[in-house]
Amino acid sequence: MNDSISRAANLIASSKHLVAFTGAGISAESGIPTFRGPGGIWDKYDPVVLDIDYFIHHYEQVWPVIKDMFYTVIDRAQPNPAHYTLARWEKEGLLKAIITQNIDNLHQKAGSRNVIEYHGNTRQAVCLDCGRTVPLTKEILAQDVPRCPHCGGRLKPDFVFFGEPIPAEAAQKSLEHTLKSDIYLVIGTTGIIMPASLLPYEAKKNGATIIEINLNPSEYTGRITDIFLQGKAGEILPALDTEIRRIQ
Ligand code: APR
């Protein structure tokens, strides 16, 4: 592993356009359950609750489940060393962008600024009835079934439900950075949910070197990964950071 860490650190240190593509695994050590794998969200909840049509037609039943799935645990979660390492690399001009599938806001809490939220966010909601975008305050989330403070209408969390399109700006910026990238970090993702999961393939096709950090092999590992660093993101990223400082 040390040889792989050293090779990866050299590539990262000399990168021209380093991009990080992150999934639920980067937040696992912050206490946020992943979707798949032991104790995953889909072991406990039926994915249908995140289907947009089901949500709209079962608004009163779904909101309490969504609060239980995400809002309660996200509110308590803090960034871990993996998030902080990426934020530091951005501050130092090394990391150009984070493309995250996560909606937990932990990259921003760690200080990252150029975070492209491919699946939206949990900070705000859109009213399906009056169209306004409202911050999801503690007061609104305290309601059993959150209602729009302006019109009393139904609030849809601003993350991407199954059956909804990826926010256009996020899709466009993600592809731009992906196609400019020479070193592409793929961190904590199974690589099965499209269209997000297609981005590393685009990077690879465009000549990027894929450095993957994951507890277990993913869909990428035997296909496009050039360097596979197996283990916890919260340990491997700080180890890479230490090695980069040693060689610089
Ligand atoms: N460090 C690194 N990787 C980890 C860690 C860790 N500490 N813990 C778990 N992992 C890895 C798992 O091995 C797995 O590959 O994180 C990945 C988590 O996979 P998923 O739960 O499928 O998460 P993700 O790939 O982000 O899911 C993508 O699926 O349900 C949708 O919209 C949801 O954004 C989500 C998308």
The structural domains of the chain, with segments of one domain joined by +, span: 1-31+79-119+166-248
Q: What percent of the chain has pLDDT over 70?
A: 100
Is pLDDT of 248 > 90?
A: no
If you measure from the C-alpha of residue 182 to the centroid of ligand 1, how many angstroms do you get, rounded to a whole number?
23
What confidence tens digit (pLDDT) does each residue in 143-183 have? 999 999 999 999 999 999 999 999 999 999 999 999 999 99
What pLDDT, on a 0 to 100 scale, did the predictor assign at position 2? 86
What confidence tens digit (pLDDT) does each residue in 40-68 have? 999 999 999 999 999 999 999 999 999 99
Give how far Cα 44 sits from Cα of 58, 61, 103, 144, 159, Å. Answer: 19, 16, 19, 20, 20
Pocket of ligand 1 (CB under 6 A): 23-25, 28-29, 34-37, 40, 101, 119, 188-190, 193, 213-216, 218, 232-233
d(Cα 101, Cα 128) in Å, to the nearest integer? 24
Per the CB < 8 A criterion, the answer to whether 156 and 146 are in contact is no
What confidence tens digit (pLDDT) does each residue in 178-226 have? 999 999 999 999 999 999 999 999 999 999 999 999 999 999 999 999 9
If you measure from the C-alpha of residue 51 to the centroid of ligand 1, how many angstroms do you get, rounded to a whole number?
19
d(Cα 128, Cα 151) in Å, to the nearest integer? 10
Class of domain 1-31+79-119+166-248 as given by CATH:
alpha beta
